[in-house]
Chain A
Amino acid sequence: MSDVALPEYKAKDFATDQDVRWCPGCGDYAVLTAMKKMCATLGVDKKDIVFVSGIGCAARFPYYMDTYGAHTIHGRAPAFATGVKLANPELTVFLVSGDGDLLSIGGNHTIHALRRNIDINIILLNNKIYGLTKGQYSPTSEVGKVTKSTPYGSLDAPLNPIALAIASGCTFIARTIDVDVKNMTVLLERGYQHKGTSFIEVYQDCNVFNHQTWFYATQKDTKLDTTIMLEHGKPMIFGAESDKGLRRVGDNVEVVSLGDGVTEDDLLVHDELNLEQAFLLSQMFSPAFPEAMGVLYVNTDKPTYNEMMHEQVQEVISRNKGKTLQALVTGSNTWTVE
């Protein structure tokens, strides 16, 4: 096996002959760039990669990756991806879709894919808006969102994708921003390496229908105060001057300024394996808190559905050696007519 040379690719080897049809300036381009870069370094043959998507702007993704791909129907990509992975566990499966697709029409399939821990990689491009249908509010839009379908402001409370993933039993949960291609590439690779479902939320700019939604988290002058980059085993420090931190207080987390008797030792230390802490991090939103970026939670103990299914099938096969189809069809309760 070690004799087999790993395929060597450049990012451009993953480009297809299709023109990319996203609007100029769309955040999806950055994700495509990161994905191609990441795929080129994986050492996985193109023939063994499948991209799956539902419906929406983000769901055009498979057409732009020169791998196997399926652009399915609205909301159902997690189910399709499940079928692909279970039918051929050797395949590497990426699912790229938007917030409307994965959290609204496809919410049910998303939570069930997450709970099963099938070894697929879900990338949620969250732009808090319906782009392809031209600008209605989405399940992640903030309350009061004024859109064509909500001229007096939306009334729905937004869904929290990270908290949903935690509650669903997801075993790899991360968050990143479209403009941070470098970090996104790292996270995509970690998601790929993780055995089990990986779920990565990408803050993605829809510069036509929801431009500037993520500005607080992407602009130079604000991003360091509104986001925190998590690093496993490191104290949680953020801020333009690296002078702020997160401290545990009772059942909650608070923002503190370093100095005045507060030292790094008082701060929370990021522990990717800590589920309770991951939940606290999932509840932090700007401006009260910095929003958590990086790997929020990892669980390496939970077996994958595909492995368990394989083992069960093998076990049943070995237990039933020698049984013939004819005997099955004949059954144990027959009579003969002369």
Chain B
Amino acid sequence: MISSKQAPEHSETPETPETTELPSVSVRFCGDSGDGMQLTGSHFTDIVALAGNDFATAPDFPAEIRAPRGTLFGVSGYQIQFASSEIHTPGDAVNALVAMNPAGFRSNLHTVEEGGIIIVNEDEFDKSNLKKCGYEPDYNPLDDEMINSTYKICRVPMSRLTRESLIKEDEEVSVKDVDRCRNMFALGIISWLFSREIEPTIEKLTHYFGVIKGKPQIAELNTRAIKAGYYFGETAELFPARYQVAPAALTPGEYRRISGNEAVVLGFATAAEKVGKPLFYASYPITPASDVLHGLARLKHFGIRTFQAEDEIAAVMIAIGASFAGQIGITGTSGPGLALKSEAIGLAVMMELPLIVLNVQRAGPSTGMPTKSEQADLLQTMFGRSGECPVIVIAASSPGNCFHMAIEAIRLSTRAMCPVILLSEGSLGNAAEPWLVPDIASIPEIKVSHPQSNGEPFMPYLRDSETMARQWATPGTEGLEHRIGGLEKEDITGTVCYDNDNHARMTLNRSEKIQKLQDIIPDLEVQGSSDTLILGWGSTKGTILSAVEMLRAKGIDVATAHLHHINPFPKNLGEVLRSYKQIIMPEINTGQLRMLIRSEFLVDAVGINNLAGRAFFVKELASEIEEIVKGGAK
């Protein structure tokens, strides 16, 4: 996409190269986990947002907080795609890579498109650092002919230039502080390359370091660094061209940038107002869900209570206790934590109390790959409990959608008096996109009622004829004293009961009240007309849309539909599925939703399965779909 042609012959005085207009650009920043790459990426995201581009980001960081400097496993990356039209993914191959050290270079080289630009901090490519990331002695990849003929390598002595620009004779500054500003130098170069103003970033740096942190000197150093990088880009003539991506024609309105985890936090806060009672979020720190705890902990003034529990099981039990006492109990975790909570979720199923369990999924069984993403907890979510133990299952499909699904979780849980597991994914939780700010007033209230005594003996398991939910009587209510627990209960009276027929009836009740939610969940919408339907769920929505756009451009038409409700499924799902000759289901697992769909509807759905601990690449998904559509069905 970006030209790799050599810089044109130039005259003695530097002149601004011509600006090339591009529809979209994908950039990746990488370096040591201590190099501030997430921050740099985040600042650049703000820059492209202000310029009115659509964008999608994906951080890629190591589990180690500060891995040994210069090592491959300590590399932290941040990818962003920005465009002049609507986009849904952070991009497959990147057009420009910024590598702050050899380890970043080595582990991210494969992400760069052929002919792409790679800007490296060449000062870091010394013997010791090259050795640390496993290069042969006397080999420097920057001198490799093959690499130089494949990519446009821009060698910038960033360490030296940053020091030279920042250290002034009459000023005492620490070299460490100066070196920390290299990332802003790099950001300056990239800002220039993509024709972006740096003033808004300077304002933010000044406010953050100067006002919030009370370190005006650090603010000044960062400001000098970004300016130095920008001017370097302008004068060094390293680049054949500057690039420009025009603003995207998004739906008019006020936008902010949002990540999935931020959106869940705002969704819960909104739900607290809409339901008119406090939400009690109890959680145990776990990657990648901890940011939800951090975000909610700041919102006590919005009806949110948070509690950092001693373990995952305590967290869910505290949430259930809070629900029993009349607040809305929520717990958040990732896959391993969900496994620990499963017995307690079963208790909430038996007690028939509201409970929301947020699962920001990560990759692999056991500890797996905590900072990588996967959709592989679906079957655990559906079935990972003892006995016949159905829960409501919903899944978010984009960072912004996390907001709406958080509210949906509370709406469904309180209506059915049943736990909801809300599935998010690491790649949604940490990814950011522009988000049209919703009008809070237009979001409907969530109606919840608690019974009062009518003088008759209270029947805790008497069900509402419409919803089949039992009543939510809370302690403190006169005349409704009752006992509930994990033992099987007699229908209506709620007393402990081991009767065979009663157990059969209660088993069905617990399942049927979830099915009843089909009355209030939206039908599945299908886009496009074709014999083939691409059916997805969760974070793959953006990739599927992009892949389908790519296929349509080639004249291959497929229809798409995306499930947000998995238990219960939308009412029309069976009808939709039966109206297509071919169903293709891309998933970031071995085919978990496909298993559910095949068993429930007896359709011969074909899977496209990515097990790499990352999102699909648009091109790979498009070509796999194409292959299946053209008759090569697996």
Q: Which residues of A are at the interface with B, using a C-beta cutoff of 8 A?
A: 16-18, 45-52, 55, 62-63, 66-73, 76, 78-88, 90-91, 108-109, 112, 309, 312-313, 316-317, 319-320, 323, 325-326, 328-331, 333-338
| 17 A-B pairs in the complex with CB atoms less than 8 angstroms apart | A47-B476, A48-B475, A68-B483, A71-B485, A72-B347, A73-B486, A76-B314, A79-B314, A80-B324, A82-B321, A83-B280, A85-B325, A91-B475, A326-B440, A328-B299, A329-B269, A334-B255
Bound form: Cα–Cα A46–B255 in Å: 52
Q: Which residue of B lies closest to A314 (CB)?
A: B300
- Neighbouring A residues of B50 by C-beta, 8 Å: 335
Range of interface residues on B (Cβ < 8 Å)? 35 or more
B52 at the binding interface (Cβ < 8 Å): yes
Bound form: Cα–Cα A317–B302 in Å: 8
Is there contact, CB below 8 Å, between A71 and B487? yes
B242 at the binding interface (Cβ < 8 Å): no
B282 at the binding interface (Cβ < 8 Å): yes
Bound form: Cα–Cα A90–B476 in Å: 8
Is there contact, CB below 8 Å, between A71 and B486? yes
Is there contact, CB below 8 Å, between A329 and B438? yes
Is there contact, CB below 8 Å, between A84 and B317? no
- CB of A275 to closest CB in B, whole Å: 23
Is there contact, CB below 8 Å, between A62 and B481? no
- Neighbouring A residues of B155 by C-beta, 8 Å: none
- CB of B180 to closest CB in A, whole Å: 23
B251 at the binding interface (Cβ < 8 Å): yes
Bound form: Cα–Cα A59–B304 in Å: 32
Chain-A contact segment, one of B114-122, B305-313, B502-510, B619-627: B305-313
Is there contact, CB below 8 Å, between B253 and A83? no
- Neighbouring A residues of B476 by C-beta, 8 Å: 47-48, 88, 90-91
Is there contact, CB below 8 Å, between B479 and A47? yes
Q: Are A336 and B253 also in contact (CB < 8 A) when A68-B475, A71-B486, A84-B475 are?
A: yes
Q: Which of B50, B252, B315, B482 has the most CB of A within 10 A?
A: B482
Q: Are A76 and B313 also in contact (CB < 8 A) when A66-B481, A68-B481 are?
A: yes
B241 at the binding interface (Cβ < 8 Å): no
- Neighbouring A residues of B441 by C-beta, 8 Å: 326
- Neighbouring B residues of A83 by C-beta, 8 Å: 280, 282, 317-325, 329
Bound form: Cα–Cα A263–B101 in Å: 80
**Given A312-B300, A335-B52, 10 more pairs with CB closer than 8 A:** A47-B478, A47-B481, A63-B483, A68-B482, A84-B322, A84-B324, A87-B324, A112-B309, A323-B301, A335-B255
- CB of B135 to closest CB in A, whole Å: 41
Is there contact, CB below 8 Å, between A80 and B326? no
Is there contact, CB below 8 Å, between B46 and A87? no
- CB of B432 to closest CB in A, whole Å: 11
- Neighbouring B residues of A84 by C-beta, 8 Å: 321-322, 324-325, 475
Out of A18, A70, A79, A320, name the residue touching B485 (CB < 8 Å): A70
Is there contact, CB below 8 Å, between B266 and A329? yes
Bound form: Cα–Cα A319–B301 in Å: 9
- Neighbouring A residues of B292 by C-beta, 8 Å: none
- Neighbouring A residues of B310 by C-beta, 8 Å: 79, 108-109, 112
Is there contact, CB below 8 Å, between A328 and B325? no
Bound form: Cα–Cα A55–B317 in Å: 14
- Neighbouring A residues of B481 by C-beta, 8 Å: 46-47, 66-69
Is there contact, CB below 8 Å, between A63 and B314? no
Q: Which residue of A lies closest to B473 (CB)?
A: A68
B477 at the binding interface (Cβ < 8 Å): yes
Bound form: Cα–Cα A337–B485 in Å: 53
- CB of A17 to closest CB in B, whole Å: 8
B327 at the binding interface (Cβ < 8 Å): yes
Bound form: Cα–Cα A163–B331 in Å: 32
Is there contact, CB below 8 Å, between A334 and B437? yes
Q: Are A73 and B483 also in contact (CB < 8 A) when A87-B325, A335-B52 are?
A: no
Q: Which residue of B lies closest to A305 (CB)?
A: B307
> Nearest 6 A-B pairs (CB), nearest first?
A83-B321, A71-B485, A79-B317, A69-B483, A87-B325, A83-B318
- CB of B302 to closest CB in A, whole Å: 6
Bound form: Cα–Cα A337–B307 in Å: 39
Bound form: Cα–Cα A18–B299 in Å: 44
Q: Which residue of B lies closest to A64 (CB)?
A: B483
Q: Are A87 and B252 also in contact (CB < 8 A) when A72-B485, A329-B270 are?
A: no
- Neighbouring B residues of A325 by C-beta, 8 Å: 269-270, 273, 302, 440
Bound form: Cα–Cα A83–B344 in Å: 13
Is there contact, CB below 8 Å, between B475 and A88? yes
- CB of B205 to closest CB in A, whole Å: 14
Bound form: Cα–Cα A336–B49 in Å: 10
Is there contact, CB below 8 Å, between A309 and B305? yes
Q: Are A47 and B440 also in contact (CB < 8 A) when A83-B320, A323-B301, A325-B270 are?
A: no
B257 at the binding interface (Cβ < 8 Å): yes
Is there contact, CB below 8 Å, between B301 and A69? no
- Neighbouring B residues of A78 by C-beta, 8 Å: 314
Is there contact, CB below 8 Å, between B327 and A87? yes
- Neighbouring A residues of B477 by C-beta, 8 Å: 47
Bound form: Cα–Cα A86–B306 in Å: 10
Bound form: Cα–Cα A71–B309 in Å: 21
Is there contact, CB below 8 Å, between B325 and A337? no
Is there contact, CB below 8 Å, between B483 and A16? yes
B556 at the binding interface (Cβ < 8 Å): no
Interface string of B426-448 (1 = CB under 8 A from A): 00000000000111110000000
Bound form: Cα–Cα A298–B479 in Å: 35
